[in-house]
């Protein structure tokens, strides 16, 4: 994702006309920038509180931005520039997501950092826009659409994190089981073979032990 974003920025720079550089809004102190006045005060306050708590708890930045216009830019290009200029997600981890809404063009974009793509994929972002935000916007409910979209972004992230944690727990449990099997095999079967003095049996048990070690490495 970071490489694609860099390439897109480079392409946009090459195609840009020799005009004044596009002015982007400054990053807000909080997680919500309502430059297009599309979010009512109560919803904005609630989003600010919830996103501050989420960002602090997870270390991942989710930012909402509404702008009056894209100034001739594509929504993808504008989102990339805003994401990079605001430094969302941090340089090292790039764990961030930007929900951008352009009022004049009626465009919506969820720009996701490389570090957040395992939990908020492009496919998920597309579904959130199509199935949650856009229907609310068509009803004139901009505040509700943005709030519901953010809620789904956070919920998808939490769900995927839970799944990843469960997978790691299963892998750890399997690792402990493998270790226990190896210990028991060495303590019982191999020890018995050594005690028996049977060279063929000893060779067989040691071969089995080597095979178990090889499988445990995979």
For the chain, the domains span 2-162, 165-217
Burial of 66 (0-12, 13-18, 19+ CB in 10 A): buried
CATH architecture of the domain with range 2-162 = Roll (3.10)
Burial of 83 (0-12, 13-18, 19+ CB in 10 A): buried
Does the pLDDT value for residue 173 go beyond 60? no
Per-residue pLDDT tens digits for 36-78: 999 999 999 999 999 999 988 888 889 999 999 999 999 999 9
Question: Would you give the DSSP letter of residue 200?
Answer: H
> Tell me, what's the pLDDT at 109?
97
> Tell me, what's the pLDDT at 167?
45
Distances (CA, A) of 192 to 152, 197, 206: 59, 9, 11
| Host H or E run for residue 13 | helix 2-15
pTM of this structure: 0.64
Does the pLDDT value for residue 92 go beyond 80? no
What share of the chain has pLDDT > 90, as a percent?
46
Burial of 102 (0-12, 13-18, 19+ CB in 10 A): buried
């Amino acid at each position: 994702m970071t490489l694609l974003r860099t390439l897109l920025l480079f392409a946009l720079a090459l195609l840009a006309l020799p005009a004044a550089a596009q002015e982007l809004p400054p990053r807000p102190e909080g997680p919500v920038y309502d430059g297009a006045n599309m979010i009512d005060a109560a919803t904005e306050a609630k989003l600010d509180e919830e996103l501050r708590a989420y960002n602090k708890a997870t270390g991942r930045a989710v930012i909402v931005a509404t702008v009056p216009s894209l100034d001739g830019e594509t929504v993808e290009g504008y989102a990339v520039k805003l994401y990079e200029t605001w430094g969302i997600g941090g340089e090292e981890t790039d764990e961030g997501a930007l929900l951008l809404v352009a009022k004049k063009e009626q465009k919506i974009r969820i720009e996701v950092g490389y570090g957040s793509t395992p939990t908020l994929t492009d496919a998920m972002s597309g579904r959130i826009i199509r199935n949650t935000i856009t229907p609310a916007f068509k009803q004139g409910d901009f505040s509700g659409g943005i709030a519901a979209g953010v809620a789904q972004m956070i919920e998808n992230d939490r769900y995927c994190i839970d799944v990843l944690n469960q997978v790691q727990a299963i892998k750890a449990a399997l690792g402990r089981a493998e270790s226990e099997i190896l210990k028991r095999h060495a303590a019982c079967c191999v020890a018995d073979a050594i005690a028996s003095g049977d060279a063929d049996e000893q060779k067989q048990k040691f071969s089995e032990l080597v095979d178990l070690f090889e499988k445990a490495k995979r």
